[in-house]
Structure 1
Amino acid sequence: MERGSDEAPNKSCKDVLKSKSIFGGKVVIFGGDFRQILPVIRKGSRQQIVNASLCPSYIWYHCRVLRLIRNLRLTIGQPSADIEETKKFSKWPIGIGERKVGGPNEGTTKIELSDDLLIEQCDDTIIKIIQFVYPDILNSSQDPTYFQQRGLLASTNEVIHEINDHLLEFIPGDPVKYLSSAPAAKSDYTDGNADPTLYSTEILNGLKISGLPNHKLILKVSVPVMLLRNFNQKRAYAITLGFTLFL
């Protein structure tokens, strides 16, 4: 959350409502975890990134922090033993972020992981993870709620694509390959004599951009997909792009 994007509406509300109070006396709710969502400062240092967040802003001194103390999604209808285990685990990553786990440190320390968080030695760790997160996928792939209750996170898109390819092999059916079709448009900043090899089809098809599906998309019948983006907003009925495996 960037402080400039919050201080500017504050000044506008004061001018419109002709009030000296924060946001013109209106109640404004900020949501999110500041430890996870930091402003992006291009080539910025740690001090610059922290200074650009909401906490150093003068608005922060007028805020009241409200904390959620109960995870309703993971506790309703669950046995008491599972609820206690969920509470215990939720405190562990927070303790790491607050440097309460692993002893005093200045950014580097050793943290002991529980045995239930570790992957046993195997030939293919990705297959092991899939079998743990998606047990009995062969018989449960037709259930729409099966994938809604499970998910996998990864640090890079390459790992996600590799997991998708492995997961697709577990789902029965014949795969169907779809290829994108998007010719390169002439740049407005060139005289039309640019080298066409700079924007060749091979280069464009090899791009892997966050938020967009790859050039080659392989699907099967009953495989869940998720619409990422509709590029043609004026023709909302024309869905032009954007399906990927929903994990």
Structure 2
Amino acid sequence: MKKVVFSILAVALIFVSCKSETKEVQPLATAADIALADTASEMSSPEFLYVTAYSGLSLREFNNLNSERVAKMPYGTKVKVISSENNNTMTVGGIKGAMDEIEFNHKKGFAFNGYLSKFFPPEKNSKAKGYADDLKALFPSVVYSESVGGTASKPINIETLELPTDQWHEAFFVAQRLFDFPKDFAFPNPTGKDEQVIKDKMPEKDVWTSELIVNRKDDALTKIAYHYKTKNFGYDVTITQNGDKMKIEKTETVE
């Protein structure tokens, strides 16, 4: 009887030992792993894009700009990407890009992806913080901050928004809508003078200054700034590149 009990115990120990040897221990995900996963997700080809051209964007029959126009997609339209062209094959309005195959309103065709963005455009009168919070749901690495400085008689408010993109035109179109640049200001061509001042041709009444200042080096953008000034109020918006992100900063002064 003792021999039987001993044999049963031996078999049980061998079975438990085998199970413990074959069981894989899954390591916990580190903060770095999560950050890498978020970055990979944000940088992957999106399924949907948004039209950023104020005047709308043409949907064409084939993948060239001379092809017949199938439809015109209004500003802010969400379109489905069928296939994307990752190599830049053309330049339109100073923006490098190519023709993506997309679907709009049950029609398929091609559109210049320089005027398509993974970031949905801000709605009219959107606040920067609210827009940033909405973006974070899709792009966790979006960063927003705000601070107050200056004096009691002359306060200075600063808002900063960092977008996970290295594309100047994407940042420009977001800033233009979010901080109310005149829509007549087109995206500045990266090729040109080291510094260029572009005046608002039709400023509103009592506006002292409304201008775009473009800084370049070796035919590449280094900073885009919009200056707005009235008698008692003014703000500056600057767009710069910060590593693999674009930084938009608004400095508002009340006098």
Q: Give the alignment's TM-score, normalised by structure 2.
A: 0.24
Compare relative contact order (CA 8 Å, sep 6+) and give the higher one, 1 or 2: 2
**TM-score normalised according to structure 1 size:** 0.24
Report the structure number with the largest CA radius of gyration: 2
Structure number with the higher helix fraction is: 1
Name the one with the larger strand percent.
2
